[in-house]
Structures are given as C-alpha cells and as structure tokens.
Amino acid sequence: MPLAALAMAFAVRASGISVDEGSLNARIFVGALSSAIMFTTIFVVLDHAEAVARRVGEPYGTLVLTFAVTAIEVSIIVSMMLHGENNPTLARESVFSTVMITSTGVVGICLTLGGWRYRKQAILRQGTNAYLSVLVALTVMTLILPTYTQATDPGTFSAAQLGFVSVLSVLLYASFVFAQTVRHREDFVQGQAHDVPVRTAHESVSVSALLLMCGLIGIVLLAEQVAASVEDALAAYQVTQADSIVGALIAALVLMPEAISAIRASFKNELQRSLNVAMGSACATIGLTIPAVAAASLLTGRGLTLGLPASDAVLLVLALFICSVSFSTERTTFLTGMVHVVVFFTYVFLIFVP
C-alpha cells in the first residue's frame, strides 16, 4: 500500500513538470526521470493486477490486464495525435510494434525460457489458434488492406471504409471475448486450478482494483512524457525513422506489465496463460485501438495512415506465419521460441537500419 501510493505520487508529480520552455537536455532529463518512476509504477500495477486476476480467475484475470494496458495505449496515441502537428502514421507504428513485440518478442522469450527450463510445455491448440485467426484477420484488414484500396491514396482508408473496418474490428473482438469467457471458455484455461477463482477478502480486492486504476493513470501520464521527450530528442538530432522509434517505444512501455506477467507465468509452467496474455494483448490492441484512433481521426479531421510499407508488411506476415507453425502442435520447445526471438531482433534492427 505505501509503495503503491508513493509510486503514484511520483508519477503525478513527474507528469506535472513543465519543460516546454527549457533546454533539450532538461527535457531529456525529465524523460529519463519519468522512465525510472514509470518502471517502479509498472511493477506496483502488476502486483495489483495479479491480485485481481487471482480473485476473478482465468481467463477473466488476463482480460483485466489486457483491457487496462489497451486503455493506456489508446490514451497515449490519441493524446499525441491531438497534440501539436498531425502525425498520421503514429497509430500505425504503435499498433504494428505492439503486434511484433507480443507475437515475436514476448512469445519468443516465454517459449525459449519455459522450454529451456521444462524441456517441453503444453498449450491448448484450439484456444491458441482462435487467438491467431482473430489476429490475422484484424492485422490484414487494418494494416495491409489500406495499401491496396483505391478510394483514396495508398495506405489510407476513406471515411466510409475507415468506419466500416472499425465497426467490424470491434464486432470481431467482442465475439472473440464472448467465446473466450463464456461460450468456449475451456479452450483457453489450462487445468482446473486456474479456472477456479481464489477467494479473497472483498475489501482487499476492491483496494487492489482501485490502486490498479491509479497506477495505470500514472503510467499513462509518464509514458506520454517519456514519448514526448524522445520525440523532441529525435527531432533535434534529425534522426530518421522517428515515427517508428516513437511507436516502438510507446508499445514497449505500455506492454511492460503484460510482458513481465507472461514471462512469470512461463516460468511457472503456465504457458497457456502466457499466450493468453501476449496474444490477447495483440488482438485487443488492433480490435480496440484502431477503432478509437479512427473515431478521433473522423471527429477531428486529422489524417490517418494505416497501410504498412512493404518491408514492415513482410515482417508482419512472417511473424504471423511463424505463429501458425509454432502453435500447430500442442507442445513447444526452446527452439520454437528461438525462431520467434530471431524475427524479433530482425524487427528491432530494421527500425534503426531500415
């Protein structure tokens, strides 16, 4: 409790520091300070999220953290879209980075470390393939299809197309959540032990939920501060691929709680829960973030470019194809994870050396 309150206080204080008129070094210093405080807040948030997850049981527990992290990303992207000059590719880069980080980085680390420790780990193929099918449909519709439409410039949707795809994305994701939590819940829960909620004092769960929300608000404020500082630094030093770097940074910052939670689960030989967290985050990011930024774009009249360039589209297709191969059986090994990790390192390298 004291640690959560202290982290939240530092988060609010750091987000309130104004350095608009200061030097570049001052803005970079505030960004570094905000990063350090944010990492502390992330661990506090993770503890409270897991406390709530133990109370509600699986798969609802993973949804708590997934929705919370998605709310963070939506808030950051929309706030940065509406701040200053229009940046039409920021949402695309952030969503693309989220998919690549989760499907190659987080999944790869979980499979590699878990496989090295336990030799082989079991997954529920039906549930994992459900994640993958939803992810493939959403990514192709929102990140690849805009490049080939003819109503507007390449990479963009018309207003009608953007609204139509956004509605379909929400409907598809809502259908998936219904299947995961109600209709086919057994496909996503590995073992009965994870299916039964742990009985915890109602008051303690309420406190954990409240502190979870407070911590998430602090992370939103700090991540925006960090991303803005990095954006200023990149612009000052005339770094190319600034949008890609900022988008990857936003995705990495907001995914930190889920990444740590997934790795922890893998170390406990709960690989299915790791995949629920990682793949669920990717699906939620596209299913909810894209409609949110699309609504902001339509209401404000600011342009939105969603179509990926050719090199990123190839990487995305490669990541999805590897996932389909990795999850085609009911067991994984460390070698399966290494394939994902190699693709992740390729993605990171091409951000800086396109």
Q: In sequence order, which ranges of 57-106 are alpha helices (DSSP H)?
A: 60-82, 90-100
66: tokens are 């997934």
Q: Is 87 helix (H, G, I), strand (E, B) or coil?
A: coil
* Mean pLDDT, range 6-16, rounded to an integer: 58
How many whole angstroms separate alpha carbon 205 and alpha carbon 49?
A: 10
Please, what is the angle between helix 242-267 and helix 60-82, to 10°? 170
Comparison of pLDDT for 177 and 87, the residue scoring more: 177
User: Nearest Cα to 265, choosing from 14, 21, 100, 46?
Assistant: 46
pLDDT, one tens digit per residue, over 71-93 is: 777 777 777 666 656 678 888 98
This prediction's pTM: 0.80
Q: How confident is the model at residue 321 (pLDDT cuts 50, 70, 90)?
A: very high
Q: How confident is the model at residue 193 (pLDDT cuts 50, 70, 90)?
A: very low
Instruction: Spell out a b/e string for 225-241, using b for 16 or more CB atoms within 10 Å of the CB, else e.
Output: bbbbbbbbbbeeeeeeb
Q: Is 68 helix (H, G, I), strand (E, B) or coil?
A: helix
Compute and round to an integer the Cα radius of gyration of the chain: 20
